[in-house]
Amino acid sequence: MKEFELIENIFKSASMASIEGRQDLILGIGDDCAQVQVPHGQHLVFSMDTLVEGRHFPFDADPAAIGYRAVASCVSDLAAMGAKPAFFTLGLTLPDSDPQWLSAFAEGMAELAEPIGLVLVGGDTTKGPLTISLQVHGYIEPEFVVSRAGAKAGDDIYVTGVLGDAAAAVPIVTGEMMVKGDLYEHFYEAYWRPESRLIAAMALKRVVSSMLDLSDGLVQDIQHILKASGVGAHIDSSLIPMSEMLKQWQPDAALQLALTGGDDYELCFSAPVSAREEVSLITQTLHLPCTKIGQITESGFTVEGYDGQFEGWQHF
């Protein structure tokens, strides 16, 4: 199949219908450029993630799962800014053009993207080792942008959900480790279908002082907040939220996985003590699992009750 037919058949049809009725999306796939009118008074935010087979996901994985997770990991960056998802582009490098693979991959992307109004508007498809570059774009009111730079000494530190499951799942999804039943399902889902924190983030953005999403592990990612805000942090490892499955299956490794394992795509945020009631109200209303794990300090970084390595996911 020729490149143009391939793109047109699979991606254009997937994107065309979604663009209709969207006043912000003027031109989608099929011209030299896509064209967008950012809604009046709003800013554009965007993030690009590159995923390489054998590095960010296992070889020969289910293409629908790859598509879903590729969008999820990118959308998580929009969530961290408190942005509303708008559209995305896809740079796809493929060893061959397998229409079945592509259809499943596109369906996996659409399963997450469509309900949140994230429309595919452009990209490029080329031949080579399987590599996926996704750029997701969202809109935000400039007065409610959440950055990493607003944390103040004394603020509480929170994380959503549970940590460590996705990292624990890696040997399972690569097939290195064989587990069955509930255990398999729990960790398969944790790795391939991370919970979207978009709505939570949109609600939280008015009360947090800083926020980011956890992709490389808590102790590594939180450094970005500390550096950008010029503060320190104290974390109590006994407060780190972990699933019962993880604690039972990997009692010795659980804490290390939760502190340093990547791919959870949960939110980590700071909020002033005065906002505790509001944070609690939001998380209760949304049934959002959310745990206070420590405090922002003047300087330094300590994790009470943990003496392991502070080593997060490193790409090199």
* Closest approach of a copy of itself to the CB of residue 260, in Å: 14
* Closest approach of a copy of itself to the CB of residue 78, in Å: 7
Q: How far is CA 190 from CA 69, 165, 265, in A?
A: 10, 6, 10
Given a contact cutoff of 8 angstroms between Cβ atoms, the answer to whether 166 and 260 are in contact is no
Amino acid sitting at position 103? S
Task: Give the one residue of 178, 273, 285, 315 binding a copy of itself; rule: CB under 8 A.
Answer: 315
Residue 116, C-beta contacts closer than 8 angstroms, at least 6 positions apart: 75, 85, 196, 198
Residue 242, C-beta contacts closer than 8 angstroms, at least 6 positions apart: 162, 163, 164, 165, 254, 255, 258
Interacting residues with a copy of itself between 102 and 161 (CB under 8 A): 122-129, 131, 133, 135, 138, 140, 142, 145, 147-148
Task: Give the one residue of 15, 89, 243, 297 binding a copy of itself; rule: CB under 8 A.
Answer: 89
User: x/- string (CB under 8 A) for a copy of itself, residues 18-47?
Assistant: --------xx--xxxxxxxxx----xxxxx
Q: Which of 158, 193, 186, 160 is nearest to 172 (CA)?
A: 186
- Specify the residue, 43 or 247, whose C-beta has the smaller distance to a copy of itself: 43
Q: What is the DSSP letter of 57?
A: B
- Specify the residue, 68 or 265, whose C-beta has the smaller distance to a copy of itself: 265
The label of the residue with tokens 């003590």 reads: 273
- Specify the residue, 12 or 247, whose C-beta has the smaller distance to a copy of itself: 12
Per CB under 8 A, residues contacting a copy of itself are 1-3, 6, 26-27, 30-38, 43-52, 54-56, 77-78, 80-81, 83, 89-93, 96-97, 122-129, 131, 133, 135, 138, 140, 142, 145, 147-148, 212-213, 228, 314-316
